[in-house]
Chains A and B, each alone.
Chain A
Amino acid sequence: MAIKVISPGLATTVQDLGRPGYYHLGIPLSGAMDRFALRAANMLVGNDEGAAALEATFMGPELEFTSDATVAVTGADMPVKLDGDLQNGWSSFAVRAGQTLSFDFLKAGARIYIAVAGGIDVPVVLGSRATYPLGALGGHEGRPLQAGDELPVGQGAGGSDGRSVPHDLRRLPGNPAELRALPGIYWYRITESAQRNFFEDTWKVAPEADRIGYRFRDGRPMEFVEREQPFGAGSDPSNIVDGCYPYGSIQVPGGTEPIVLHRDAVSGGGYFMLGTVISADMDLIGQLQPHTPTKFVEVDMETALAARHDRAALLDKVRASLA
């Protein structure tokens, strides 16, 4: 069976839980920006949690099914329609051959995950079906979907419709959004007042926000601690000798607009980083729209680990509710 792409939306790609192990060669993890939503969508249709699904950004695609299927849509709040009839989000429903799935305008969040029983069966490349468009790797021909594409669907275990993730277990960022971050790496490069300002200011998501990274603006420019630049670093005070970039790391080129690297991160470069968003809050970034007011909240390692455990516990509750 297959899915025909009638219209692709703005940026729709095949994603799973990603491709670990090649970051040292510049090939990033990729995979769903909101991994929690991807896992939930797959659970709803009876797939392995890491099966490949579609991630659509800001705008939904229009998809025609060539045979019967079980489908679930999670993540952002975007009305789901099957041949024009509204369906519930975060719930599985049956699709008959020839029916068309489409979406209304986005209400909250940024990315939806469309899982189909059996998973999107594009070839596995370096251990994953995730799309990395910059490297033309994985997914459907290494790129976002286009009108006319046909996506193969794997053999499902036969998911059942009418299953639903309870409301209190669904997760979207608040307004203002709060992203918890651990200061570090080159934190000492900015002055104490710049350090304070970073956590005090309310930033706004800039239009340049994609799978590589999210840019933030509207905070105060940062002052650097004066020094003679080390050999090889470059002349700007925000420059370092090119090094590795952690996922979630916060770099501030020129000290003006912080960029938080995400699943398709560039693996390294020459800008200082002042810290890193904790792993528990990475999914939330994937649900931020441009212009969303955002506060960075300083945490320590124990808080970061506790947040990580909370998130794992939330996922366990979803598993239990759908078991």
Chain B
Amino acid sequence: MKTRYSFGGDEHIFVEVDEEMSLDAFFKSLSMTNAVRDSQIKGVTEICPANASFQIKFDPDQIHPNDMLAELKSLEGSAEQGDTVLKTRIVEIPVLYNDPWTHETLMRFRERHQDPDATDLEYAARINNFDGIDAFIEAHSGAPWFVSMVGFVAGLPFMYQMVDRPRQIEVPKYLRPRTDTPKLTVGYGGCFACIYSVRGAGGYQMFGITPMPIYDPKQEISYLKDFMVFFSPGDIVKFKPVDRDAYDAAVEEVDANKYSPLMRDVTFSLAEFQSDIDGYNKKLEEVLHGN
């Protein structure tokens, strides 16, 4: 990992922790953004952690860009030894894989896809050497995911699967982006899963849909009353495959404002995770389903 700093015009500094994605890069980025927040450097207006990089927006009338750069660089050393223990939460997200709505949409945009004769799921399963879509769904929902960035549009989580590199799923984005994606589509691009928080354009492959809203600008949904965006970087997600009946039942609960996400507080240790990935993920699942 080699940290690289660059100005984004006169109001931003872009910091790339690593060119490639890894949990180490994500943790260092998170730890540096926390350090920026704690140090209360004057003139900082936005602190945005991303997957393996982060960005600071500042007011150059209050601090010269070179001074801001020096302040950020001075935080790097301590972030290197930063805490890789995170107090966070694990959330279960129900997913109707291979659902009719993303299927209708992907058929509508087939000419923009690498493989017009297959569905997005079939394509992703094939190029990642899975024996059919069921095995692919099992891998996708079998291990948890880290929310490594929130953005693109309001409240959209990017997620990185908590498995070792050889087991990471990788897919390209659509050849040309779609102009439409159903709201709450579970998507995939590069090595990242996402959930489209709102309906709109998108280039990620579409695998399914969740009944659980994750963005509510009106703040009427019970679990989004305090804040309209559900996810923050550092959240852990476990996808749960559900059938159409369970999906419909969940939608009814959401409509009656009685849906409540299954989630538990958890402390995550990067070192313990890396020493036994499968064992650690099993413990996380016990936390999720324990009392």
A contacts, CB < 8 Å to B: 20-21, 23-27, 125, 132, 134-137, 142, 181-182, 184-185, 187, 230-236, 239-244, 246-249, 266-270, 273, 275-279, 301, 304-305, 308, 312
B contacts, CB < 8 Å to A: 6-12, 14, 16, 18-22, 45-55, 57, 60-61, 64-66, 149-156, 158, 160, 165, 168, 170, 172-173, 189-192, 197-198, 200, 215, 217, 228-229, 232-233
Give which listed residue, B20, B54, B55, contacts A231 with CB less than 8 A.
Answer: B20
- Report how far A270 CA is from B52 CA in the complex, Å: 12
Contact yes or no, A246 B190, CB < 8 A: no
Please name 20 further chain A to chain B contacts, defined as beta carbons within 8 Å, in addition to the given A23-B151, A134-B153, sorted by A numbering. Answer: A20-B45, A21-B46, A23-B46, A134-B200, A135-B153, A135-B215, A135-B217, A184-B8, A230-B19, A230-B20, A231-B22, A232-B192, A239-B190, A267-B152, A268-B48, A270-B189, A277-B9, A279-B9, A305-B60, A305-B64
Which one of A242, A249, A269 has the highest number of Cβ atoms from chain B below 10 Å of its Cβ?
A242
Q: Which 4 A-B residue pairs are closest in the complex by CB-CB distance?
A: A232-B21, A246-B8, A276-B9, A244-B55
- Report how far A240 CA is from B158 CA in the complex, Å: 14
Residues of B within 8 Å of A273, CB to CB, are 8
- Report how far A268 CA is from B55 CA in the complex, Å: 10
The residue in chain B whose Cβ has the minimal distance to the Cβ of A142 is B217
Tell me how far the C-beta of B209 lies from the nearest C-beta in chain A, rounded to whole angstroms: 19
Contact yes or no, B12 A26, CB < 8 A: no
Give which listed residue, A230, A234, A268, contacts B189 with CB less than 8 A.
Answer: A234
Give which listed residue, B55, B64, B151, B217, contacts A26 with CB less than 8 A.
Answer: B151
Tell me how far the C-beta of A196 lies from the nearest C-beta in chain B, rounded to whole angstroms: 20
- Report how far A21 CA is from B58 CA in the complex, Å: 11
- Report how far A197 CA is from B166 CA in the complex, Å: 40
Contact yes or no, A248 B48, CB < 8 A: no
Give which listed residue, A142, A240, A249, A266, contacts B9 with CB less than 8 A.
Answer: A249
- Report how far A235 CA is from B173 CA in the complex, Å: 9
Contact yes or no, A243 B53, CB < 8 A: yes
Tell me how far the C-beta of A120 lies from the nearest C-beta in chain B, rounded to whole angstroms: 18
Contact yes or no, A242 B154, CB < 8 A: no
The residue in chain A whose Cβ has the minimal distance to the Cβ of B8 is A246
- Report how far A93 CA is from B197 CA in the complex, Å: 44
- Report how far A72 CA is from B287 CA in the complex, Å: 60
Which one of A25, A181, A249, A308 has the highest number of Cβ atoms from chain B below 10 Å of its Cβ?
A25
Residues of B within 8 Å of A266, CB to CB, are 151-153
The residue in chain A whose Cβ has the minimal distance to the Cβ of B29 is A243
- Report how far A134 CA is from B11 CA in the complex, Å: 24
Residues of B within 8 Å of A23, CB to CB, are 46, 48, 57, 151
Tell me how far the C-beta of A237 lies from the nearest C-beta in chain B, rounded to whole angstroms: 13
Residues of A within 8 Å of B153, CB to CB, are 26, 134-135, 266-267
